[in-house]
Structure 1
Amino acid sequence: MSERLQPGDTAPDFTLPDADGKQVSLADHRGRKVIVYFYPAALTPGCTKQACDFTDNLDLLAGQGYDVIGVSPDKPEKLAKFREKEDLRVTLVGDPSKETMEAYGAFGEKKLYGKTVTGVIRSTVILDEEGKVERALYNVKATGHVAKLIRDLGLEEQGA
């Protein structure tokens, strides 16, 4: 079972293909805060809700200095379909080997409908401008997670 990240850890670097097959590197985001979220599969109801929530709040997050990267085991072609179908604006990258997911503690044993299975653990890791872990959240809910994240980070729109 992969180790979960803790605040203060240096986030494992990664370079993965996005929905267009272009390589996206965590190192390219140095100097900005990054929200890396891990989800089981594109084009599924919970993952769609979560990706849409991140897209709906992208302007707020970007305005506060955050980049958002969604990671799933999907291939770029499926990510492109997901992006087009749901009009997503977050960066989606594929990790078919699951190496990055394992490095982040987002792949392993989890409970699914009362059974223990091995799979993607829905997780969100928030990194500072230097690539250090600020928060590592595991087994998060697909629905309501982004709103909670915004509250927890104190990013609610001023005066709203």
Structure 2
Amino acid sequence: MAQQSRTVAENRRARFDYHLDEVYDAGVVLVGSEVKSLRDGRASIQDAYAAEQDGEIWLINCHIPEYHGANRFNHEPRRLRKLLLKRKEIGKLIGSLKRGGVTLVPLTIYFNERGKAKVKIALARGKKLHDKRETEKKRDWDREKHRLMRSKGKE
């Protein structure tokens, strides 16, 4: 029986604040108490971002709270976590980051079908205020359009 992937944390503001270019799935190096805390559905990636250090990509400022059953063997909630990507992907990301104007934003933390913790990260360019207004206008119009179509269809 195939197990479905399960989302643990989602950065919902990322799509509002950034233009997302390329999306990558990356593994994460975690300790046992972090995995248990994620399985409980406790994590936050609202303020998180990814950056390059020493030729590797690291997840910074991701908050995974301590697991209460781990007592003295607990982890640091906001520690740096290494992201596991293919060498070509790392090279491509580092090149994009060095050129400037882009950042690596985590979109979701989830468990895949095999039960492994993964992070979906995206190369992103920041939106200007007028872009954010346009996004909000489009979203409101789509919502209103669906509402009108539903009301026309029922009568």
Scaled by the length of structure 2, what TM-score is found? 0.30
Q: Which has the larger radius of gyration?
A: 2
- TM-score, normalised with respect to structure 1: 0.29
